[in-house]
Structure 1
């Protein structure tokens, strides 16, 4: 081995020793390196490298979000990106496109296949050749209908020893749950009744990473995805990966060490590839997945959706400011992944410790009056607690605590103007690009509340709606395209550019961004209420020798002591570079 290979082997072995102290980690390290085809390392990944800039924006979509009768759904998605999103999107997160049995893809039955209803690996490779591709590594569990689990029940064959079982008499009182279904499911196997661990549902059976064969299988899967063009790995439900009776089974040290191990292997295989951790948990726990810039490259900014929603429906931004000021700047080599809508609901756990139970209850009541639903999780005392709100973002922002009003579209766009300007990489859910509304028929068809924000479009129907100026879909889509086109060219919107929260009262949410080279400053100012707001420009301390422009309107600020009147949900991006 050369020195680079020695360094890699040492690093991998060190990770493994922390997780598997009783195993022959020398041999296991060699096997993992071989599975990743890293026997001859040519270079080491440089630390603290930002694999992104202000032009990066990721669209989040199911592979079959849009349909056309003459092509696969993935090719229809590819066509939509080319025909409707030219210059807007350079990255795409395609939600699980594998064969599955439930949860719209997150109960994977075959990690090595593309489900026929979506398309083929050739479609995936065509998309990845032109767009940065994020794919889900559904690493915590798999489908009860998978061949692995069938082999488990037969007690023989590949995968028969991949699943986590537990004695029902064990102390599981501290286990943190995201669902209300029983944690253990009694399954008849060739060896008798086995109680399998099911964090999410009885169709989603948890994998047992105490068995290094499971780790080897997923390293093999990662190598396969890299070969197919996947560049960003979304580690789904990663916080639940390692389990120990008597603990919370959440964010355990072994879980963090395995993330560090996967990052090492992925970076050596492809230096610009990234890991993003999906951890729908309180903010402090979520931030721990950055490690010391040696775990996730990106973490989802899970507190942003509920706090921004609360801000816009109350017309007060105090909680949002408080949270923003508590968020440390991401180190170089790491970044926040900002989103305000997704295929799931609006998570409530990330608002814990910020919003009171009463404020959460009021938010839930309002969202239910706007047509939303609530999903629950089980507590250790046997009670249930709200876990997420299921509603389309467009319908969630149709009004305020006073009820629906005429400002829904502006409120919706204000939310995106804030998100697009924040420190981090923005992710926009495809349904938000054109303001999709609650899909009650899909909820009725699937029986799952999350389906309310997973509408399936026919391509011709969507194109007609986007082309018709009379539809809100057209107005939202055109406004979003303009916003994104402006954002893309601003150095101060680099994901790691400086950010400071401004104190402009409860009605105006403001923050300052400065480019890494310090040449550009942008003051992002947002009236988050349904009433006009006064803004005294002198409070911003704008440098008088610079010329200042609002990037959104193109207007120049003539008088830096002027008092501006921001209309309801109006935003300004005041920049000294235009």
Structure 2
């Protein structure tokens, strides 16, 4: 029995597995005939990802994907091998994550020819919003209109049933009430909002339709695929309804499809949860996700810089497990969402987390909350640009740049594939006007720009944007030239000083030591010997008296 057939038999005990399997096999063969682009078969030090919206930059009368390609080719292509375009499909809310039609490009952004054009400049990462669909989609509208085809596409639930054990990522109702065309009222499972209707994967036809979407994305050139909110796909009353065994089996099935149709396509699971749950999506190291998001990294780096102390970051990184030869971490500091706090619960004491939240709120950050099973609420994510998160409102631009670059040095040297959010690359500050316009806290870090204005700011020497863009460009390019930053190169965490975060990346015959002073004080670095700083090209003799300046970082290779 094939792997896919075995997985189907596990997921659907009482269904016609032979029929479902034959339909999947036929769809795989169709996809193989349409997929012409060869995939890179592994990752290396060149793989740095840019995270962006498809309408990030605007020009009057021009599809925004065309404008983005112009910006990318002119300013970004020499820095990034891959571009993660956040959902570029027609949508109704959540800046793209309530998809109306999985197989269309939002007309304001362009069409599939624009995606194809961009794929000539970079490899593309698609969002596969597999847990839910827009309430305005054909599928859900068909359900509301009593179309029998969609009768079992969504999860109806009696509101009197006890669902208190279900894990809640939002402080919103789990069930949303809708009226059908025949006048019936139904309560439907909506994990994230009443505009994001959870799909019912216990219906095999839903799985078949979503497999069709996944293979369609490969046909359209997706080389990385991000499984959004994947942990919630399977529902069983009486459980937490997150990370269930059948959810993992569906993820394994998706991996089988990718390997069969276009080997080398990288699958990334997005599960903003504690570390052990997160790395469970590596499976056995060969059968589930190729990469998982390194969710503790953004809040831990932020916490460490606020404390001026690297102990928590060092202890966490020293004990980090889960990545293997065929898997790695997808590292980031900022994204289109806020800075998640759940991943550091259990790493940082709760009172310290709450203290950090209050400190950031005083400096202008916003906060989203989640509902706990006991009815209380806890901070779920901090909404702020990473540049403003690291600094006080009273900080000088030079101070801002120092801390920001140090944080990104950690990102770019940490084991895994690094991803940089477009707002970070642009040196963006908090967008309060955006929050006022949308009423959403997350809009604080989702600003869009007229192309001519952002180019002017980036090119104007001495501006904050110019300093960030220029300096960050320099360290990205050095990173890409150093083979010791291959994600498969080993990482050792060094314990030199509480105020430092230090790591060593090694190969069979070489190594590099990276030092970060997380404090605003001079700190002895504790090294002896002659080293080349590959960021500056300067060779220096180190002894017990050498120190790092506040927020200084060094990338040091031994010189014989």
- TM-score category of the 2 structures, normalised to the smaller one: over 0.9
Instruction: Say if 1:40 and 1:184 are closer, same or farther in 2 by CA, change over 3 A.
Output: closer
- What CA distance in whole angstroms lies between the structure 1 residues aligned with 2:78 and 2:3? 40
Runs of 4+ in 1 over 4 A off after TM superposition: 38-41, 403-406
* Match runs of 1:129-168 below 5 Å: 129-156=120-147, 158-168=149-159
> Residue in 2 aligned with 1:118?
109
- What CA distance in whole angstroms lies between the structure 2 residues aligned with 1:186 and 1:70? 40
The question of 1:561 aligning with 2:543 is answered yes
Q: 2:90 aligns with which of 82, 96, 99?
A: 99
> Residue in 1 aligned with 2:36?
none
Q: Report SS of the residue matched to 2:348.
A: coil
Q: 1:571 aligns with which of 546, 553, 556?
A: 553
Q: For 1:359-401, what per-residue CA distance to the aligned partner results, in whole angstroms no more than 9, with x for missing partners?
A: 111111111122110001111112111110000011111149x
Asked whether the 8 Å contact 1:177–1:378 carries over to 2, the reply is yes
- What CA distance in whole angstroms lies between the structure 1 residues aligned with 2:531 and 2:372? 52
> Residue in 1 aligned with 2:207?
215
Q: Report SS of the residue matched to 2:487.
A: coil
Asked whether the 8 Å contact 2:47–2:81 carries over to 1, the reply is yes
Q: 1:289 aligns with which of 278, 281, 298?
A: 281
> Residue in 2 aligned with 1:273?
265
How far apart are residue 213 of structure 1 and its match? Answer: 0.5
- What CA distance in whole angstroms lies between the structure 2 residues aligned with 1:352 and 1:176? 15
The question of 1:532 aligning with 2:514 is answered no
Q: Report SS of the residue matched to 1:417.
A: helix
- What CA distance in whole angstroms lies between the structure 2 residues aligned with 1:577 and 1:220? 54
Asked whether the 8 Å contact 1:407–1:530 carries over to 2, the reply is no
- What CA distance in whole angstroms lies between the structure 1 residues aligned with 2:94 and 2:9? 35
> Residue in 2 aligned with 1:392?
385
How far apart are residue 38 of structure 1 and its match? Answer: 6.2
How far apart are residue 563 of structure 1 and its match? Answer: 2.4
> Residue in 2 aligned with 1:57?
48
* Match runs of 1:434-445 below 5 Å: 434-445=426-437
> Residue in 1 aligned with 2:294?
301
How far apart are residue 129 of structure 1 and its match? Answer: 2.8
Q: For 1:71-117, what per-residue CA distance to the aligned partner results, in whole angstroms no more than 9, with x for missing partners?
A: 21111111111100132111000000011110000000111111111
Asked whether the 8 Å contact 2:499–2:523 carries over to 1, the reply is yes
Which segment drifts farther, 477-486 or 154-163? 154-163
Q: Report SS of the residue matched to 2:312.
A: helix
* Match runs of 1:219-368 below 5 Å: 219-293=211-285, 294-328=287-321, 330-368=323-361
- What CA distance in whole angstroms lies between the structure 1 residues aligned with 2:266 and 2:549? 40
Q: For 1:411-442, what per-residue CA distance to the aligned partner results, in whole angstroms no more than 9, with x for missing partners?
A: 01100011100000000000000210100011
- What CA distance in whole angstroms lies between the structure 1 residues aligned with 2:111 and 2:510? 44
How far apart are residue 130 of structure 1 and its match? Answer: 2.7
Aligned residues: 551
How far apart are residue 329 of structure 1 and its match? Answer: 5.6
Q: For 1:219-270, what per-residue CA distance to the aligned partner results, in whole angstroms no more than 9, with x for missing partners?
A: 1111211111111110000011111110000100000000000000111100
The question of 1:180 aligning with 2:174 is answered no
Asked whether the 8 Å contact 2:31–2:216 carries over to 1, the reply is no
Asked whether the 8 Å contact 2:132–2:196 carries over to 1, the reply is yes
Instruction: Say if 1:398 and 1:497 are closer, same or farther in 2 by CA, change over 3 A.
Output: same
The question of 1:20 aligning with 2:12 is answered yes
Instruction: Say if 1:355 and 1:28 are closer, same or farther in 2 by CA, change over 3 A.
Output: same
RMSD: 1.8
| Unpaired runs of at least 5, structure 1 | 1-8, 42-48
Q: Report SS of the residue matched to 1:337.
A: strand
Asked whether the 8 Å contact 1:50–1:334 carries over to 2, the reply is no
> Residue in 2 aligned with 1:4?
none
* Match runs of 1:469-548 below 5 Å: 469-515=461-507, 518-538=508-528, 548=531
Instruction: Say if 1:576 and 1:157 are closer, same or farther in 2 by CA, change over 3 A.
Output: farther
> Residue in 2 aligned with 1:87?
78
* Match runs of 1:184-195 below 5 Å: 184-190=175-181, 192-195=184-187
Asked whether the 8 Å contact 1:330–1:496 carries over to 2, the reply is no
> Residue in 2 aligned with 1:452?
444
- What CA distance in whole angstroms lies between the structure 2 residues aligned with 1:300 and 1:236? 11
Q: Report SS of the residue matched to 1:332.
A: coil
- The normalised TM-score by structure 1 is 0.93
How far apart are residue 326 of structure 1 and its match? Answer: 2.0
Q: 1:376 aligns with which of 369, 381, 385?
A: 369
Which segment drifts farther, 10-19 or 302-311? 10-19
- What CA distance in whole angstroms lies between the structure 2 residues aligned with 1:121 and 1:576? 49
Instruction: Say if 1:577 and 1:265 are closer, same or farther in 2 by CA, change over 3 A.
Output: farther
How far apart are residue 189 of structure 1 and its match? Answer: 1.4
How far apart are residue 40 of structure 1 and its match? Answer: 8.4
